[in-house]
Amino acid sequence: MIIIKTGTDGNTLIDDCSVATPIGVQKAFSIPQLVNANFTFNLKEGCVTDTLQLFHAAANGETQWQWSVDTFGSNVQNPVFYLTRGGNYTVNLITGNGNCTASSQQSVVVSDKLVADFLMPIAACSGEVITIQNNSKAATAWLWDFGNGVTSILENPPVFQYAGTTDVIYNVSLSVSNANCSATITKPINITSNCNMYMPTAFTPNEDGLNDTFGPVNTHQLQNLQFSVFNRYGERVFNSSPTLSRWNGYWKGMLQPEGQYIWMLTYADKQSGKTITRRGTVLLVL
């Protein structure tokens, strides 16, 4: 309660009805409690999605909430957020009662998600040494199945080989787990029985789907491959690139004449690292 006294600035108190309060009159008023932005949370971690429940007690008459978690937001009192990645999250709250506001911030640490993943060649030769790189995350146990009856429980399995006299596609599987979750991934690898590189002696670029292009065959053991084709005048009519390794018989948009062409192939042997250059001829048949 306050008592109105004569002031020096000529101002007085005005009530909600725009009526001035006379001097000497007592006036009662209340001061609302301070806004409190403190909050609590409950984190329930799952294998794929984590559930974050936020709680604000609104003990001091708060009626407004503005939450933010990472890029997500909410304006309800006790929101729920679903998180799909591990790491640190910052939770912000701005709350108010219509007159005042307050804010607070907390950090929430979420465990990394369990991920099964590995890297290996998509193709290899029979008898070739194969190395697998384990790229799994948050795993404590591993089970490898190489598709040929061989398994391993090592985090990083030893190098291995496939033997055989026929071309086979094997499915390599990795199953990982931790205290609460499990995950599995499977990838194919194409095993070629004969990896001796050879160059065809002829091709027919007539777009019938048979022998339409010309280039090296069985290049699994080749690295840094450069392949060029020249016509009888020494003009280079084809040069390979990372996205184009075979000649379709065209040069400058025109199908080339029937006849013999000279090819040159340079590559590094995968096993020895030695650079090899080979030359020969091919017959373009129309």
DSSP string, 119-156: E--SEEETT--B--EE--BS-SEEEEE-SSS-EE--SS
Does the structure show a pLDDT above 90 at 94? yes
Q: Do 40-110 and 202-284 share a fold? A: yes
- Give pLDDT tens digits for 44-58: 988 889 999 999 999
Query: 13 near 27, Cβ under 8 Å?
Result: yes
Over residues 103-129, the pLDDT tens digits come to 999 999 998 889 999 999 998 888 888
Mean pLDDT of 258-269: 94
Reference 90, options 76, 71, 103; nearest CA is 71
Q: Residues 13-34: pLDDT tens digits? A: 666 677 776 766 676 666 667 8
Percent of the chain at pLDDT exceeding 70? 91
Identify the pLDDT of residue 101.
93
Note the pLDDT of residue 4: 53
pLDDT of residue 128: 87
User: Which CATH architecture describes the domain 202-284?
Assistant: Sandwich (2.60)
Helices then strands, counting H and E runs in the chain, come out as 0, 23
**If you average pLDDT over every residue of the chain, what do you get?**
90
Residue 220 has a pLDDT of 76
Mention the CATH class of domain 40-110: mainly beta
**Above 80 in pLDDT, residue 68?**
yes
Q: What ranges do the domains of the chain cover?
A: 40-110, 118-192, 202-284
Sign of CA dihedral 264, 266, 270, 273: positive
pLDDT digits over 129-151, tens only?
899 999 999 999 999 999 999 99
**Buried b vs exposed e over 29-50: b needs ≥16 C-beta within 10 Å?**
eeeeeebbbebeeebeeeeeeb
Lowest-confidence segment of 158-167, 179-188, 208-217, 265-274 by average pLDDT: 265-274
- Kindly report which listed range (55-64, 179-188, 235-244) carries the lowest average pLDDT score: 235-244
CA distance linking residue 248 with residue 204, whole number of Å: 9
Q: What CA–CA distance (Å, rounded) separates 240 from 247? A: 8
Starting at the edge strand found earlier in the chain, the sheet holding 182-192 runs: 123-125, 182-192, 168-177, 141-145, 151-152
The 8-class DSSP code of residue 286 comes to -
Fold of 118-192: Immunoglobulin-like (2.60.40)
